[in-house]
Amino acid sequence: MPTHKSLLSSNKIVTLTVALLALLVGLFLMSFNNPPSLDDGLRHIAMAKAMLENGLYSSGFAWNNFFYEGYFADHIVDPWYGADLAYIPFASLPIVTALKAFIFSSIVLLMIAFWYVIKPMKLPPAWIAILLSILILGDQLFLSRLMLGRPYVLMTAVTLITLKGILERRYLLTALSLAVAVLVSNLFVFPLFIALLGCIWMWTTSSGLKGACRMGIAIIVGTAVGLLLHPQTIEYAVHTFDVFLRIPIMKDLQVGMELYSGVFTSTSATALLGVIILFSFICFSIKPRVQISEWHKEGITFLCFLVIIFLIAFFVWM
């Protein structure tokens, strides 16, 4: 049983790790005179500025005001409405400073969310520090994507919170995190997918059908609330279904590199190594007397299943 003093010491170590990583990210961003990326981040800051001028909740204002051809020129919809709201606190700053401030804040938020999720696992503070360092610095490609200033980082943090809600069977937390996820980006389909799989897992544990149904209701309510809070509810729902039904099927679409298989990327080796380390850690940290049923009850088998599912998707997507 950890003492109060040991818990304080543990929190200090993790807090120091987060602070050092944040300092490293901050120094890295300060070394750039120009935006780290002439990419979507600048567009979202422009949208945030426009939202301040045209109102935060306007059903007739979206990306169609910026595009003259393509999908968004013909459809009044903002699939990143909640994310654009998150850019607003930085919208009054000079454009380069605003983008750097958002990147820094979103990475810190991701670290805090990750810590929040793994804290109940009672890992040694050194392990948590190592895992936080791997999260931010473990893969060059992932780090470069963190520096793009896209809503992707916010969605990753919200997905972790959704996973925590499922593992700890917290219905309200799951509903709230899914509502936020729906508003942040149409990538909410991924935390939604995790939550639905979590319902099946809960059904096979002591929670039973009753607990799974309660979680299912929380998932439906959270998703519905997120859609209803969106200023373009119908258009957003149609856009989401259109995108995620069309991309995997229509092979002739021009899509970004992130939608292709990860087999020949630098991340593939990191992903495989990470999975090997994860499964090795599970095997050697669990006491031999602990039964598979205990693993299943605590959600370890569920996490392993998620890792395998997303690893397969990473290698075969498109």
Q: What are phi and psi of 59, to 5 degrees?
A: -70, -20
Q: Is 74 among the domain residues?
A: yes
Helix axes 4-30, 125-137, angle to 10 degrees: 20
CB neighbours of 28 closer than 8 A, spacing ≥ 6? 147
Residues of the chain with pLDDT under 50: 1, 318
Quote the number of domains for the chain. 1
Q: Is 93 among the domain residues?
A: yes
Give the model confidence (pLDDT) of 71-117 as tens digits.
777 778 888 999 999 999 998 899 889 999 999 999 999 999 999 99
Give the model confidence (pLDDT) of 242-251 as tens digits.
877 665 555 5
Between the alpha carbon of residue 306 and those of residues 7, 106, 206, 270, 287, the distances in Å are 30, 24, 20, 17, 23
Range of 215's domain? 4-246
The predicted pLDDT at position 113 comes to 95
The predicted pLDDT at position 285 comes to 57
Q: Is 52 among the domain residues?
A: yes
The predicted pLDDT at position 193 comes to 94
User: pTM score, two decimals?
Assistant: 0.85
Q: Is 151 among the domain residues?
A: yes
Helices (H) and strands (E) in the chain, counts: 15, 0
- Contact between 103 and 26 under an 8 Å Cβ cutoff? The reply is no
The predicted pLDDT at position 284 comes to 57
d(CA 83, CA 57): 13
Q: Is 253 among the domain residues?
A: no
d(CA 137, CA 109): 16
- Contact between 271 and 314 under an 8 Å Cβ cutoff? The reply is yes
d(CA 284, CA 280): 6
The predicted pLDDT at position 307 comes to 83
Handedness of CA 201, 207, 211, 215 (dihedral sign): negative
Q: Is 261 among the domain residues?
A: no
Q: Is 298 among the domain residues?
A: no
The mean pLDDT value of the chain amounts to 82
Q: Is 278 among the domain residues?
A: no
The DSSP line for 147-188 is TT--THHHHHHHHHHHHHHHHTT-HHHHHHHHHHHHHH-GGG
